[in-house]
Structure 1
Amino acid sequence: GARTALAATPAQLAVLARAGVVDAGGRGLIAVLDALTTVLTGEAPPAPEDPSTTVRAVAGESAVPVPCGPDSAPDAHPHRATGPAYEVMYLLDADEPAVHALRDTLDALGDSLVVIGGDGLWNVHVHVDDAGAAVEAGIAVGRPHRVRIAHLLSGSPPHGPRAAPGPLPPLPTASSSGTAPEDSAPRLRAAGPEPARSVVAVVRGEGLAGLCEEAGACVVRVPADGGAEEDSLFAAVRRCGAHETVLLPNDPYLHGVAVRAAERARDVGVRAAVIPTRAAVQGIAALAVHDPGVRFDEDVVAMTSAAGATRYGEVTVAGYESWTMAGVCQAGDVLGLVEGDVAVIGEDLAGTAADVLERMLAAGGEMVTLVVGPHAPEGLAERLEAQVRHGHLGVDTVVYEGREGAGPLLIGVE
């Protein structure tokens, strides 16, 4: 197969044979195929036998063989990924000379360094292994705020040997001291046959929570400005009691958390997959095509396709001055986001919402989903529905109430 073809590349190219390495591009393709196999089947492919070298491909340079010692063999750290472990992003209030020094410091800590801005406000992005050091470097030269740290690795170290497929083991009961063991969670499902497959969705807003529950999902509620913990997602998987589960993080910053929760679920015999939903409207689209009656991998592919085909936008209000892709916003400005980036800075919510919706429909679409929060202006949904009806023939509109905990407006276009 692909690994056999990769092993043959040194015989096909003299420079590879002289260096004693395999083709870096081919090795990268195998890594992509391995990841795809893991996502679709829930099982990691077997590691290659007797790996003696890894390949580091550097732009403009020849491939360099890097010996693999005992600690770097795939079997020694099955969950380790190459490259820095964390993505660190923050806004920084600092003078330009101090930012020059910060660039040098962060460049020594990791890679993918981007520092842009001016007039005392800078946007910092870097991939590092020591996230704390990257933040401390910002503190040393100015005032970092809106700090975001995302885990880039595909999973965390295993919590023990993976159980063979079979019946889901019972949840641990409380010990005699009254303290529940780690990873324990009460079952909320009534007695009876356990479901074959469950969906765990992270949502903000009671309206969305009710909608997802009506669709059969196990819901993990989080506050509007907060996130979900790995333990909460894993506990939800256990509460569902299914042998197969699909997780919908509905937030790009919760994807790593969901991946680690899925890994823990696999350790106790649950087949798990994470759909990379970046917004609640993508989660709704995935739930709409969820079919527990088909094979697990077919269901995962269908849900992933539906989520990926849904463009998402949001309208919210800035809480403080900040640098954005559309310029500097002030506290109280209305922000219109498309695919996570600020595209519009406006003065009123209704006008900004109409602008964002029009931008999203400029690329086409067949259905618009509006999730209207409790702080949206009265009649906003009706105005946007009329905008779609009069300006985009053949496009349907569906409106949901976000209720308490939801932002002013979420938009999805499929």
Structure 2
Amino acid sequence: MQPSIDVIDGKDFRRMIAGAYGAFMREHEYINSLNVFPVPDGDTGTNMLLTLGAVAQAVSEAPDEGIGSLSRRAADSAIMGARGNSGVILSQLLRGIARGLSGKDQATSAEVGKAFQYGVLYAYRAVSRPVEGTILTVAKGIAKGTHRAVREHAAFADILTEAIGAGREELKRTPELLPALKAAGVVDAGGQGLIVFLSGCLEGLEGRFSGPEADFGRTLTVPGIVTEINISHPYCTEFIVKQFAAGLDEVKRQLEQMGDSLVLAPGESILKVHIHTAHPGAVLESAIAWGTLHDIKIDNMADQHRKIAETGPLNPVKAETALPPERSGLAVISVVSGDGLADIMRQMGAGIIVSGGQTMNPPVEEFMAAVHNGPAEKYIILPNNKNIVLAVAQAKKLLGDRVAVVPTVNVPQGLAALLAFDPNLDIEANVDRMTEAQATVKSGSLTIAVRDSQVDGQTVPEGAYIGVIEGSVAVWADSLTGALTALVERLAGPETGIVSLYYGAELTASEAEALASVLRERLNGVEVEVYSGGQPHYQCIISVE
């Protein structure tokens, strides 16, 4: 190699980013095919493509001309648009490059080469527990190749060529370092992604654009390789902390105790977090103390893995754009247990059903996932059970003004609230309407006593049928019919016009209709409607209007 003093400017940097993005559009499916991680965590090639798509779009639209300001814009957009573990690592590569080019309008080949060395260092530091045989092994090889070429005063195109060659040598070694790669007969997908990134930069620098025309919202085919594994940290959790005011070492110490696959991508007063955890709610609760939370994304990888294992990969998949998905409108999240009740809730306007109820209380993270993966901009949550109200309140605390809560404590209240929901009104007006509507409902439920208890000075034996009103035992009887009629008579009044009976999983339609016939005889002139609820534990849920 001959000494060179060639200079790289902002236009060169734009071409390199455009070339890298074009290379990923061409190669991302191949990178995906190398992925042997047991669940489709976005897929490596797709994650890196979408992350780089955010960068390419920002750089192409930027008015900046200097290489320093453009590289800073690239790093910021990468952190905001980073997808998955590999996307976060790529964002840190760009952050390191931006540090090396900070304040420069143009840079010599040696300065750009050193900036790429910074990038590799930042990428390596982003991973909490580096594992050899992964993208980091390839990154180290690239750093060594870059260092050699810079020391020999090579032109920047030659520096990239040397870095790519050194990285490819390390990439070949990855199957020997990771048994899963060797068993599958592939090299590391993330490492291959780094090679594609550098190769694309070289193509762009030299004006050799061989990828498809830039399309920041294209349809992506996402293949996957399915292997069996016990997933102890099933929730892939990503979020951004703005106004970040905590120590990075302390954040790392806290999160390392909560899961694995931890990647931290810091920027200027900002932090991107990627972690696999069993308790995303606990992670987010800790993160509140570090700054303001944004762009929270929670995926249940165990569900993804199960679906792919049963049905195979779904192709093609319309991937989200690299920027946060557009959401609009207002929707209702309703908690309910039982297929029949879920169907009724949907028919009455619930946009999302979270499965839960008595003895089946969904955790905070289920509400977090529902909100962040749903299509609406804002949500009203109906807990429909007093034991779920606190979990919903915690979700509200984490999600802020994207969520409001109407504190319904039973299914009839939830149904009444849904009747009052109007998607054309704003969230505040709907909360007022729905809260007022649910407060007018009279309701009760029938179940079987699981132990002896005292009610109004009388012993209610285990196995008796009990009627519950507002969380307290109101009536009991030896027969279901006796308990039901006594409960409905407690609830009904002179103005009662309709009694709705939602029968549970333990009753058949004919048994429920027989109970309704008894009620019609006892409540002369009152209409009794019967619905299949399918709820467990409770033979009947009753609403009186």
* Length-normalised TM-score, structure 1: 0.51
Q: Name the structure 2 match of 1:212.
A: 345
1: CA distance, partners of 2:506 / 2:386: 24
CA distance in 2, matches of 1:393, 1:294: 39
**What's 1:279 paired with?**
410
- Alignment counterpart, residue 329 of structure 2, candidates 186, 196, 203: 196
Deviations along 1:36-62, one digit per CA (max 9) or x if unpaired, are xxxxxxxxxxxxxxxxxxxxxxxxxxx
CA distance, structure 1, for counterparts of residue 351 and residue 423 of structure 2: 12
Structure 1: give runs of 5+ residues left out of the alignment: 1-155, 176-187
**CA shift at 1:326, angstroms?**
6.4
Matches of 2:318 and 2:457, distance apart in 1: 47
* Distance in 2 separating the partners of 1:287 and 1:298: 13
Amino acid at match of 2:432: V
Return the offset for 1:198.
Answer: 1.6
Q: Identify the residue that residue 295 of structure 2 maps to in structure 1.
A: 169
Match of 2:474 in 1: 343
Q: Which residue of 2 aligns with 1:40?
A: none
- From 226, 229, 243, the counterpart of 2:360: 226
Once the two structures are superposed, the pairs formed by residues 54-69 of structure 1 within 5 Å of their partners are none
Q: Distance in 2 between matches of 1:295 and 1:398?
A: 32
Tell me the SS of whatever aligns to 1:332. Answer: coil
Q: How is 1:23-172 mapped onto 2 (pairs within 5 angstroms)? A: 159-160=288-289, 161-162=291-292, 169=295, 171=297
Compared CA separation, residues 263 and 383, structure 1 to 2 (3 A) = same
What is the number of residues matched between the two proteins? 242
Cα distance in 2 between the residues matched to 1:302 and 1:379: 37
In structure 1, the partner of 2:422 is 291
Quote the Cα distance in structure 2 between the aligned partners of 1:345 and 1:226. 24
Q: Does 1:316 align with 2:442?
A: no
Provide the alpha-carbon RMSD of the alignment. Answer: 3.4
- In 1, Cα distance between the equivalents of 2:486 and 2:515? 10
Partner of 1:258: 392
TM (normalized to structure 2)?
Answer: 0.40
For 1:208-266, what per-residue CA distance to the aligned partner results, in whole angstroms no more than 9, with x for missing partners?
A: 12222333331111265221211112222222242211111111121111111111111
Tell me the SS of whatever aligns to 2:534: coil
Contact 2:418 2:434 in 1 (8 A): yes
Relative to its length, the structure with more helix (as a share) is 2
Match status 1:353 vs 2:484: yes
Alignment partner, residue 544 of structure 2? 413
Q: CA deviation at 1:316?
A: 0.5
Residue 372 of structure 2 corresponds to: 238
Q: CA deviation at 1:171?
A: 2.9
On the 8 A contact 2:513/2:530 being kept in 1, the answer is no
Higher strand share: 1
Judge conservation of contact 1:281–1:369 (CA < 8 Å) in 2.
no
Matches within 5 A, 1:326-405: 327-362=458-493, 364-376=495-507, 379-386=510-517, 389-390=520-521, 392=523, 395-403=526-534, 405=536
Q: Matched residues, percent identical?
A: 26
Larger radius of gyration: 2
1:386 and 1:251 map into 2 onto residues whose CA distance is 29
Q: What corresponds to 2:201 in structure 1?
A: none
Return the alpha-carbon distance in structure 1 between the equivalents of residues 543 and 393 of structure 2. 24
CA contact (8 A) 1:314 1:337 kept: yes
Compared CA separation, residues 349 and 394, structure 1 to 2 (3 A): closer
> d(CA) in 1 for partners of 2:434 and 2:329?
17
SS of equivalent residue, structure 1 residue 200: strand
* Pair 1:301 & 2:427 matched: no
CA contact (8 A) 1:371 1:401 kept: yes
